[in-house]
Amino acid sequence: MDAENWTYRLQRALPVSSRALLLINRHARQGEKRLSEAINCLQQLGFNLIEESIENPTNISETILRYQHEVDLVIIGGGDGTLNAAVDSLVEAQLPLGILPLGTANDLARTLGIPNSLNEACKVIAYGDLRRIDLGLVNGKYFFNVASLGLSVKITQRLTKEVKRRWGILAYAATALQVIWESRPFSAEIRINGKSLHVKTIQIAVGNGRYYGGGMAVVHYATIDDQRLDLYSLEIKHWWQIISLFPAMREGRHIYRRGVRAIQGQNIEIITRKPRPINTDGEITTYTPASFRVVPNAVTIIVPPVETF
């Protein structure tokens, strides 16, 4: 948003001194480096902050629930993995969430139109709109963006914190190229919309939002409040075929290509011969057999005001 429009919102919507729980993952790509800047920016915008250091994202849910009756909103600085670690407690506490995109991929922020600029992201939290969004749920674990199995899991396993910190968003593409040639098709049964489909695939992705994996789109028309899940399955025979799909996957238009199956539904089951790990928002959290469903209007996020889109 340009300065003139921000001034307009400042004049018509001065911030109330909201009590906010600020949780910044110091191990996120920009977490430690931007911590002081984030605190100063939010305080200048009128927030009364309770700041808790997050050294281990697994403790983030416990912290949110501990302060849920003392604050008006939760502000999280980190990447998609940090947000995924917090999602279950956000559903339980039903506190609005403000996002500071300080991770590598920041796919949820991209889906919601939240700017990467820390200063602009803070202004969104102060003057933005409240938006109810859906969540995906797989085997009792919530996710914002995408849950997937196959190729993406291998990428997650290879994508270390050191690699992401050094190479940023390019780390996703570089790691993908390293593991593609190792990928082998696996058999799976997909149960959706009353049908049972038997497939041989190298990847199945189930999307609630639009973006994942550093800016790839599940489907180009997906939104995070459309109350459905979008599934695609890469049913290609040779590893090199996926390379030609990459440009289309960035735009979510790979679903129109040969060898790609695309389906929509609210409830999905995936069964494999042996348990296979599932990646939710960049973290491996569960295994097949997997039961997915969409949870409509599950949490509230602070997003850019309508006129910024």
Residue-range domain boundaries for the chain: 3-127, 141-296
141-296: in CATH 2.60.200.40: yes
What are the angstrom distances between the C-alpha of 4 and each of 10, 11, 119, 160?
10, 11, 15, 41
CATH class of the domain comprising 3-127: alpha beta
Classified as helix, coil or strand, 5 is: helix
| Residue 56: per-residue pLDDT | 75
User: Mind listing the pLDDT tens digit for each residue in 204-225?
Assistant: 999 999 998 878 899 999 999 9
List the chain residues with pLDDT less than 50: 1-16, 308-309
| Residue 4: per-residue pLDDT | 40
Distance CA 4, CA 291 (A): 48
State the Rg of the chain over Cα. Answer: 19
Residues in Cβ contact with 302 at an 8 Å cutoff, skipping those fewer than 6 apart: 73, 96, 97, 98, 99, 124, 125, 128, 129, 130, 131
Classified as helix, coil or strand, 65 is: helix
| Residue 15: per-residue pLDDT | 45
| Residue 288: per-residue pLDDT | 97
| Residue 176: per-residue pLDDT | 63
CB half-sphere exposure, 74, CA atoms < 13 A: 31
| Residue 216: per-residue pLDDT | 86
Distance CA 232, CA 264 (A): 9
